[in-house]
């Protein structure tokens, strides 16, 4: 159902790249070469996306600086939602803070996860990757395929890592919400409380997604989530003073 021409071509290219990396790493990683290649490919992808993440954080800090003006507009146009939305977008536009920019890193990653899913769920890659294993478990196997033997502990470890990363990200989101620093989200109004409760739960969706992905895609998911956690720690660390709040030096 997902086998249309652009995706098929992308799966083929990904298969060739992954096979090349696997051959390159095999002398060092042995039987884990393909899994190591997936991790390296993830690092390469996230490195390319990092400028978008920097722009995302910059936009968040700009939107956070607009919080007093946003509250003023919310109070002024409390009975006129259409005007409120228009004024909010005008405010964000004048400050160069795009509310949609925060979704870009996630949206850009989605095709890579889909390609990896197809690569290890079908024979589209044409490179024999379906036969590759990690700790004796085929990289194309899902959790539902094998709940016993070597697969159970391996999936268990990966899911535990995802759960720990989700807990850490959720804790940061909850702390930011408590301090009123969740940039780009409303801090007042009928939807604010619901959003405040929803945001800390979002990181746990990675664990649910991993339950239906092949092992190779779970490895990608763990790697990219760990990278995101590292970016959170580095890019969103507390600022020394207001003047340094914008990474662009504005």
SS (H, E, C) the chain: CCCCHHHHHHHHHHHHHHHHHHHHHHHHHHHHHHHHHHHHHHHHHHHHHHHHHHHHHHHHHHHHHCHHHHHHHHHHCCCCHHHHHHHHHHHHHHHCCCCCHHHHHHHHHHHHHHHHHHHCCCCCCCCCHHHCEECCEECCCCCCCCCCCCHHHHHHHHHHHHHHHHHHHHHHHHHHHHHCCCCCCCCCCCCHHHHHHHHHHHHHHHHHHHCCCCHHHHHHHHHHHHHHHHHHHHHCCCCCCHHHCCCCCC
Q: pLDDT averaged over the chain?
A: 76
Query: Is 76 a domain residue?
Result: yes
Residue 121 has pLDDT above 60, yes or no: yes
Name which of 118-122, 162-166, 236-240 the model is least confident about: 236-240
Query: Is 20 a domain residue?
Result: yes
Please give the pLDDT value at position 176: 62
Query: Is 79 a domain residue?
Result: yes
For residues 23 and 116, the model is more confident at 23
Query: Distance between CA 81 and CA 102 in Å, rounded?
Result: 23
Contacts of 215 (CB under 8 A, 6+ apart): 120, 134, 137, 138, 139, 140, 141, 142, 151, 154, 155, 158
Query: Is 250 a domain residue?
Result: no
* Domain count within the chain: 1
Query: Is 249 a domain residue?
Result: no
Q: Express each pLDDT in 170-226 by its tens digit.
A: 887 777 655 544 444 444 444 455 555 677 788 899 999 898 888 888 999 999 999
C-beta separation of 38 from 53 below 8 A = no
Closest C-alpha to 209, from 165, 173, 159: 159
Please give the pLDDT value at position 246: 47
Please give the pLDDT value at position 25: 93
Please give the pLDDT value at position 219: 93
Please give the pLDDT value at position 245: 42
Q: What's the token pair of residue 39?
A: 């991790």
Query: Distance between CA 175 and CA 177 in Å, rounded?
Result: 5
Please give the pLDDT value at position 123: 65
What residue numbers bound the domain in which 212 lies?
A: 5-244
For residues 108 and 154, the model is more confident at 154
Query: Distance between CA 126 and CA 2 in Å, rounded?
Result: 17
For residues 182 and 7, the model is more confident at 7
Residue 244 has pLDDT above 60, yes or no: no
For residues 138 and 180, the model is more confident at 138
Query: Distance between CA 28 and CA 119 in Å, rounded?
Result: 24
Name which of 4-8, 158-162, 213-217 the model is least confident about: 4-8
Closest C-alpha to 197, from 216, 222, 170: 170
Q: How confident is the model at residue 89 (pLDDT cuts 50, 70, 90)?
A: confident
Instruction: Count Cα atoms within 13 angstroms, Cβ side, for 237.
Output: 7
Distance between start and end Cα atoms, the chain: 48
Please give the pLDDT value at position 66: 78
Q: How confident is the model at residue 164 (pLDDT cuts 50, 70, 90)?
A: very high
In this prediction, residues 100-107 reach a mean pLDDT of 64
Q: How confident is the model at residue 250 (pLDDT cuts 50, 70, 90)?
A: very low
Name which of 4-18, 39-53, 113-127, 174-188 the model is least confident about: 174-188
Please give the pLDDT value at position 183: 44
């Amino acid at each position: 159902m997902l086998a249309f021409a652009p995706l098929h071509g992308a799966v083929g290219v990904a298969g060739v790249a992954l096979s090349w990396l696997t051959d390159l790493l095999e002398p060092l990683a042995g039987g884990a070469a393909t899994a190591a290649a997936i991790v390296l490919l993830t690092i390469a992808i996230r490195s390319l996306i990092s400028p978008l993440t920097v722009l995302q954080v910059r936009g968040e800090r700009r939107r956070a600086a607009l919080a007093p003006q946003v509250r003023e507009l919310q109070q002024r146009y409390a009975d006129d939602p259409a005007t409120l939305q228009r004024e909010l977008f005008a405010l964000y536009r004048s400050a160069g803070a795009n509310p949609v920019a925060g979704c870009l890193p996630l949206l850009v990653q989605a095709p890579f996860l889909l390609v990896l899913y197809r690569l290890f769920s079908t024979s589209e890659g044409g490179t024999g990757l379906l036969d590759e294993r990690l700790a004796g478990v085929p990289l194309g196997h899902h959790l539902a395929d094998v709940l016993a033997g070597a697969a159970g502990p391996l999936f268990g470890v990966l899911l535990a890592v995802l759960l720990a990363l989700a807990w850490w990200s959720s804790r940061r989101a909850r702390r930011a919400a408590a301090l009123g620093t969740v940039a780009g989200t409303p801090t007042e109004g009928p939807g604010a409380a619901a959003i405040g409760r929803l945001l800390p739960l979002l990181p746990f969706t990675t664990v649910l997604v991993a339950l239906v992905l092949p092992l190779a895609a779970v490895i990608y998911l763990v790697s990219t989530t760990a990278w995101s956690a590292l970016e959170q720690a580095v890019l969103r660390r507390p600022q020394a003073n207001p003047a340094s709040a914008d990474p662009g030096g504005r």
